[in-house]
Structure 1
């Protein structure tokens, strides 16, 4: 099967909607951040999917269906058998190619329409799935362009997956500890500059992991169209910190392993393939008082 790009356009996808080998996943969820500083909650995107989605798409709930049910942290990778069983039941596996989209990250402001899609794409790559793309601009861009929607649920025949887990794509807490003192590894914090500096109340312990540098995930796409910026603009912040040096390894992290996957995907599109995601990210790091944090730049 012909290898597909990591990111595809709305036009590219619409031209292939009738392809029997195509699998489309709506990975929408919504992050509700109270204005009064209360606890953030994750809302299912299933009701939004039922109101209208791209023809053929099935909906997957990343938090409740594809995260480790035994973990104390949200959005951690589940056992391989658990993940693959769900995907093969949905018909996603050998002999198919997959396009993933979402409708944005936040209830009030999407920020970027690939936040959830990139997380699922990363999990699939980690488990050895191939030919996976995310939809540039997601469903917001698809709607803006007047492309067709349906309320008919997607349904694909079950299949199998014979790929192997790619352990090099995931970084552990111990990997990050070693990276803090390794000039050959670049740690990237994908959160906002304010979260990075520790000037917000987003986390019980403030600041960032020592030696890490900040490249905000929300700067990779146009806020109006949700379309990714051109490669030249995407390259600038990463070139500045040396993250596109192919002799370097890059580890991305964020709050809970979501935005970090978007950063990893952007790096992959720019040719940097030696990228791992710290799956536990700050949720795990700050829960261990022996793990250091620094404030400011």
Structure 2
């Protein structure tokens, strides 16, 4: 298990920037939310990284390097061999610990969440690496505080990645179908209340998976300070839907398995360890007419 907190602040990171065991990863990816015409877009954050990043950080490309190149959906987990190779090239492996951040890059949205950083953190845990923290407030908070920014590409020595894949951290469509009627599983829709109720046209079909509950991933941090709320406030959101019951399993889902990892990380932080992420999420579910959806609350 990790010796470091699930979420760390900028002071914590600043004090450790020169630690030779640190591996600082910039996981920035840009997602354009649907406009009135329904247009969406997603692109790598590599150019943004080149324009400025936290000193020493290396860029981890979730879109191009850390997703399945043959996947039918964007951002599905890549083959383990691919993921391990990329991590080793980035210097992540035995004897290191990882801090991940992003630029909060959901274009056109005020939501404060480290969903791209949490996505990579979840992938690392899925592949058996635990010593990971996500930076609170990400790069934007770092810059807002006047901390140093670099345009020099970071580099770490090649590492040896160990650990074994944990299938229990990933939920499939079939797992979710079974969970719909299992009182021992809490299905959490991590999208906005409007998406949950079916008031938007974001996905091929409207609504949410039957018997799932809504905990919006954007409600866990202060929009102005970019700080994550304290545990007592975070706990309220999940306790009311029964997600902190240690005797239950939780499956989080969203649009494409990104925002769901932020909810999963917060749940882990609050002590709920039995959490899986539905990797296909609504992109997969809503594309299959045999998968039921309901609208309203």
Q: TM-score range by the shorter chain?
A: over 0.9
Partners of 2:270 and 2:2 lie apart in 1 by: 20
- Structure 2 partner of 1:248: 248
> With structure 1 as the length reference, what TM-score do the two structures score?
0.97
Q: Is the 8 A contact 2:98 2:131 kept in 1?
A: yes
Q: Is the 8 A contact 1:137 1:226 kept in 2?
A: yes
Larger deviation, residues 103-112 vs 178-187: 103-112
Q: Residue 91 in 1 paired to residue 81 in 2? A: no
- Structure 2 partner of 1:37: 37
Partners of 2:37 and 2:92 lie apart in 1 by: 39
Q: How many angstroms does 1:105 deviate by?
A: 3.0
Q: How many angstroms does 1:216 deviate by?
A: 0.3
Q: Residue 165 in 1 paired to residue 165 in 2? A: yes
- 1:63 aligns to what SS in structure 2? coil
Alignment of 1:88-127 (within 5 A): 88-109=88-109, 111-127=111-127
Q: How many angstroms does 1:109 deviate by?
A: 3.2
Q: How many angstroms does 1:44 deviate by?
A: 1.8
Q: How many angstroms does 1:29 deviate by?
A: 1.1
- Structure 2 partner of 1:22: 22
> With structure 2 as the length reference, what TM-score do the two structures score?
0.97
Alignment of 1:1-297 (within 5 A): 3-109=3-109, 111-297=111-297
Partners of 1:56 and 1:124 lie apart in 2 by: 20
Q: How many angstroms does 1:48 deviate by?
A: 1.3
Q: Is the 8 A contact 2:113 2:220 kept in 1?
A: no
Q: Is the 8 A contact 2:104 2:138 kept in 1?
A: yes
- 1:50 aligns to what SS in structure 2? helix
- 2:107 aligns to what SS in structure 1? coil
Number of residue-to-residue matches in the alignment: 297
Partners of 1:109 and 1:226 lie apart in 2 by: 14
Partners of 1:43 and 1:36 lie apart in 2 by: 20
Q: How many angstroms does 1:223 deviate by?
A: 1.0
Structure 1 residue runs without a partner (length 5+): none
Q: Is the 8 A contact 2:197 2:295 kept in 1?
A: yes
Partners of 2:40 and 2:244 lie apart in 1 by: 33
Q: How many angstroms does 1:110 deviate by?
A: 5.1
Change (3 A) 1:282 1:41: same
- 2:85 aligns to what SS in structure 1? helix
Partners of 2:212 and 2:89 lie apart in 1 by: 39
Q: Is the 8 A contact 2:43 2:63 kept in 1?
A: no
Partners of 1:168 and 1:113 lie apart in 2 by: 24
